[in-house]
Amino acid sequence: MRRCIAFICLTGALAVAPAVHAAANPQIAGLQVALRAHGLYLAQIDGIAGPKTASAVHAFQHKHRLPYGVANARMRAALGPLGRPLFGTRTLKHGDFGWDVSVLQFLLTKRGVYSGALDGYMGKETTKALKRYQRAMHLLADAVVGPRTLSAIVRRDAVPVRTKPVAAATTVHVVRVGDTLTALAARFHTTIAAFASTNHIDPAKPIVIGQRLRLPAAAPALTPQRLDVRGMLDQWSARLGVDAHLIRALAWMESGFQTEIVSSAGARGVLQTLPTTREYVETVLAGRKIPQSVDGDIEVGILYLKHLLQVFNGDERLALAGWYQGELAVQKHGLYKVTKPFVANVIALRNRM
Assign 18 a pLDDT band (cuts: 50, 70, 90): very low
Structure confidence at residue 1 (pLDDT)? 29
Query: In this predicted structure, which of 47-51, 116-120, 257-261 has the lowest mean pLDDT?
Result: 257-261
Identify the CA nearest to 190 among candidates 212, 226, 221, 168. Answer: 221
User: pLDDT category, 229, cuts 50, 70, 90?
Assistant: confident
pLDDT of residue 104: 95
Residue of 163 and 46 predicted with greater confidence: 46
Residue 256 confidence (pLDDT) above 90: no
Confidence bin at 13 (pLDDT 50/70/90): low
Domains in the chain and their CATH numbers?
A: 13-157 (1.10.101.10), 172-214 (3.10.350.10), 227-350 (1.10.530.10)
Per-residue confidence band for 216, with pLDDT thresholds at 50, 70 and 90:
confident
**Average pLDDT over every residue of 193-218:** 79
Q: What integer best gives the mean pLDDT of the chain? A: 82
**Above pLDDT 90, what percent of the chain?**
36
Residue 307: which pLDDT band, with cuts at 50, 70 and 90?
A: very high
Q: How confident is the model at residue 135 (pLDDT cuts 50, 70, 90)?
A: very high
Angle, helix 26-37 to helix 99-110, in steps of 10 degrees: 120
Q: Which is more confident, 61 or 309?
A: 309
pLDDT of 226 reads 43
Helix axes 51-63, 26-37, angle to 10 degrees: 50
pLDDT at 19: 44
State the DSSP string of 219-267. Answer: PPP--GGGS-HHHHHHHHHHHHT--HHHHHHHHHHHHTT-SS-B-TT--
Whether the pLDDT of residue 165 is over 50: the answer is: no
What pLDDT is recorded for position 217?
59
Average pLDDT over residues 133-161: 88
CA distance 346 to 251: 9
More confident residue, 344 or 282: 282
Q: Is the peptide bond before 85 cis (omega within 30 degrees of 0)?
A: yes
Report yes or no: 8 and 77 within 8 Å, Cβ to Cβ.
Answer: no
Which helix (H) or strand (E) element contains residue 56?
A: helix 51-63
Is the per-residue pLDDT at 264 higher than 70? no
pLDDT at 154: 85
Question: Averaged over 225-249, what is the pLDDT?
Answer: 85
Length of the chain in terms of residues written: 353
List 172's β-bridge partners, or say none.
214
pLDDT at 168 over 80: no
pLDDT value at position 176? Answer: 85
Neighbours of 301 (CB within 10 A): 28
CA 141 and chain centroid, separation: 28
Pick the more confident residue, 40 or 145: 145
Helices and strands (DSSP H and E) totals, the chain: 15, 4
What is the average pLDDT across 258-281?
84
Q: Is the predicted pLDDT of residue 195 greater than 50, yes or no? A: yes
Specify the pLDDT at position 14: 64
Looking at the predicted structure, is the pLDDT value of residue 225 above 50?
A: no
What is the DSSP secondary structure assignment for residue 284, as one 8-state letter?
Answer: I
Highest mean pLDDT pick, 55-59, 77-81, 158-162, 298-302: 298-302
pLDDT for position 162: 55
Positions annotated as catalytic residues are: 254
In the chain, the percentage of residues whose pLDDT exceeds 70 is: 86
